[in-house]
């Protein structure tokens, strides 16, 4: 069974067909830039182009970088503010003619890693952090997702910006940081996360997980940390799994 997963991010909109049983992508991923300004009309048009690329007709899963309840966005940190209160699921459904299931992007990446990747068989408190334009989070307790956590939005001690402005992949690029400088920032974030949640495992995903080897040795040692096995494709794979699960209800 193959389902289309789409991952709308602050910078890129990506998609691919996923084998639901194995959790593997069965196509190359297709990526378009997320339009700027990232208004609902422009972003939905781009996501619909991804659907067209695969000439797909069926249920679609879609990750979106915001708090999502029943398809509606309740925040908009790295996406146009006009998304707040907009039903992304309905818009995508209208644009594609397919049934669309939309959920927070990091939650979907976490679902994929728990089912088939670095979190498989892991109990206790597992936290997935996606490192990209922002910092996304997905919290699992004994395998159960606690939806819509926004752990990239904590304030770090002594700072007047939220954690993602300081430690996401975009801040490394924007401030031209070396891996050492960025890892120092990210460790401050991890220390706070550890103090607040004592996770049994932290999985690092998003675009930043592709470069895990470059900073692995620089990360805090008293935390169990693994890179996402599906790297940056976890969001697409989780979206497809989510659509399949929802369509079975």
Where on the chain is the footprint of ligand BGC (CB under 6 A)?
A: 9, 65-67, 75, 77-78, 104-106, 130, 132, 134, 136, 150, 152, 164
Alpha helices for the chain (secondary structure H): 40-53, 88-96, 105-116, 163-167, 169-174, 179-197, 212-215, 234-247
CB of 153 to ligand BGC, least distance (A): 6
CB of 167 to ligand BGC, least distance (A): 12
Q: Are 166 and 177 in contact (CB under 8 A)?
A: no
Q: Which of 152, 150, 148 is nearest to 161 (CA)?
A: 152
Phi, psi angles (nearest 5°) of residue 166: -100, -35
Closest CB to ligand BGC among 56 and 139?
139
CA separation for the pair 170, 164 (Å, rounded):
9
CA separation for the pair 25, 83 (Å, rounded):
29
Closest CB to ligand BGC among 136 and 199?
136
Closest CB to ligand BGC among 106 and 237?
106
**Taking CB positions, which residue lies at the least distance from ligand BGC?**
134
CB of 106 to ligand BGC, least distance (A): 4
CB of 206 to ligand BGC, least distance (A): 7
């Amino acid at each position: 069974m193959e389902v289309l997963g789409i991952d709308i991010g602050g910078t890129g909109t990506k998609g691919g067909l996923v084998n639901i049983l194995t959790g593997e992508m069965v196509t190359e991923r297709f990526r378009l830039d997320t339009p700027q300004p990232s208004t609902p009309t422009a972003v939905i048009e781009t996501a619909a182009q991804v659907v067209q690329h695969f000439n797909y007709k069926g249920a679609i899963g879609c990750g979106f970088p915001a708090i999502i309840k029943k398809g509606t966005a309740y925040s908009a940190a790295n996406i146009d503010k006009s998304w707040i209160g907009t039903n992304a699921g309905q818009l995508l459904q209208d644009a594609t003619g397919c049934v669309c299931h939309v959920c927070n992007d990091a939650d979907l990446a976490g679902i994929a890693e728990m089912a088939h990747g670095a979190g498989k068989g892991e109990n206790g408190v597992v936290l997935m952090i996606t490192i990209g334009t922002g910092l996304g989070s997905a919290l699992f307790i004994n395998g159960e997702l606690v939806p819509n956590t926004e752990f990239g939005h904590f304030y770090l001690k002594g700072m007047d910006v939220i954690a993602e402005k300081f430690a996401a992949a975009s801040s490394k690029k924007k401030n031209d940081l070396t891996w050492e400088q960025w890892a120092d920032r990210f460790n401050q974030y991890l220390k706070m996360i550890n103090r607040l949640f004592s996770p049994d495992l932290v999985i690092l995903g998003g675009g930043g997980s592709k470069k895990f080897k470059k900073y692995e040795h620089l990360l805090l040692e008293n935390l169990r940390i693994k890179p996402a096995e599906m790297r940056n494709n976890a969001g697409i794979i989780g979206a497809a799994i989510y659509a399949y699960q929802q369509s079975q209800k």
